[in-house]
Amino acid sequence: MDHHIPMHALPEEIQKMLPEEKVCKYCGVSYLILHEFKAMEEKVKAMEKEMKFYQGSVDREKRLQEKLHSLSQELEQYKIDNKSKTERIYDVGMQLKSQQNEFQKVKKQLSHLQDGLKIKYRQSYIFRLCFCW
């Protein structure tokens, strides 16, 4: 705390006062320091309030650090899960592409078989016409 050193000596009339005249008859504190004492009491109260706030800040910071650590771990797990799912999506996409290629091949074969069936049907029809007359 600041210590106040007066620049000027007390006036002579105060210096010549009897000690009983300079102190409070109720509490015994010198009137000369009573005001300074009250100001220091207010400073102490303000500092105690500030210390409580900072103590709360330390506790809040600790909780926030724990929460941050927990969230960081969750983020890392989500990254791992995301990578795994991305790989799975890629694999499924490749399987789908393979199945689509296979489907196109079967579709072409079906088309060729249908064309062949039409030709056979026409030949059969012509054969029946020729021999049935």
Asked if the structure places residue 80 within a domain, the reply is yes
d(CA 44, CA 58): 21
Asked if the structure places residue 5 within a domain, the reply is no
Residue 3 has pLDDT above 70, yes or no: no
Residue 98 has pLDDT above 60, yes or no: yes
d(CA 91, CA 101): 15
From 28, 32, 7, select the one nearest 17 (Cα to Cα): 32
- The mean per-residue pLDDT over the stretch 38-50 comes to 89
d(CA 101, CA 107): 10
Tell me the pLDDT tens digit for each residue of 15-29.
787 877 777 777 776
- The mean per-residue pLDDT over the stretch 35-52 comes to 85
Number of domains observed in the structure of the chain: 1
Residue 101 has pLDDT above 70, yes or no: yes
Q: What is the dihedral of CA 96, 98, 99, 105, to 10 degrees?
A: 150
Asked if the structure places residue 90 within a domain, the reply is yes
Asked if the structure places residue 3 within a domain, the reply is no
d(CA 57, CA 64): 10
Asked if the structure places residue 4 within a domain, the reply is no
Residue 33 has pLDDT above 80, yes or no: no
Would you place residue 4 in the very low, low, confident or very high pLDDT band (cuts 50, 70, 90)?
Answer: low
CB 20 within 8 A of CB 12: no
Range of the domain at 67: 12-127
Asked if the structure places residue 47 within a domain, the reply is yes
From 12, 34, 15, 13, select the one nearest 23 (Cα to Cα): 34
